[in-house]
Amino acid sequence: MSFHKPWISMWTQPKATIRSIIEKNPNHQLPFLATIYGLYSLLGLAQTFSWGNLVSLLPLIILIIALAPIWGYLIFSILSGFVYITGKWIGGKGTYKEVRAAFAWSHVPVIVSNFLWILFLAIFQEALFQGFPQEKANALAAFFILLASGCFLILGIWTLVLYIQSLSEVQKFSALRSISNIFLASIVFFAVFFLILLSFVHLIKG
């Protein structure tokens, strides 16, 4: 049952849902999940780093839409790789594809987050990616930003809860060990990223 309606059941029954998915096909709906996550991630990056100051709105949106599936798939694949490898260190039972499925399906709430981004775009338009100019910062806009930020926070927390539960199911971990797996993977990821960054800087300096 959960396999046939995973977009709904994942919100409240993550363990049963992910179990049904990996039993049938761990790659189920992966391209679509990668796309919606890629949109969410790239829109966030574009807003945070004010990409609108470099590219006009329409080309920027087209670029984000075009890159979203690739970006989302890369994020799912790379981060899941770190979780899979470090999970093996502490007794994880899941395969790489199962671990990736747990990560991907835990991001179902991102669908709602993307609707919030659409509302942001409708209200602020090009200003959304230009650091919110002062003329856009009226009381109503400030209230909407505060409300949307609260929604983003709640959805982010729920995504983490879903991920912990889903990872627990595929790795045959307790919730605490799942958290340890995520924490350990994060440490290793940032250590590798830092080493790559240092190497890159060293090469540039010659």
pLDDT average per 10 residues of sequence, the chain (206 residues) = 77 95 94 96 92 91 96 97 96 96 96 91 85 61 81 94 97 95 96 88 75
CA distances from 35 to 67, 69, 104, 186 (A): 9, 4, 11, 23
Put simply, whether the predicted model's pTM sits higher than 0.85 gets the answer: yes
Residue pair 65/41 in contact (Cβ under 8 Å)? The answer is no
| Side chain identity, residue 45 | L
Q: Phi-psi bin for 132: left (phi > 0), alpha (psi -120 to 50), beta?
A: left
The pLDDT score that the predictor gives to residue 1 is: 45
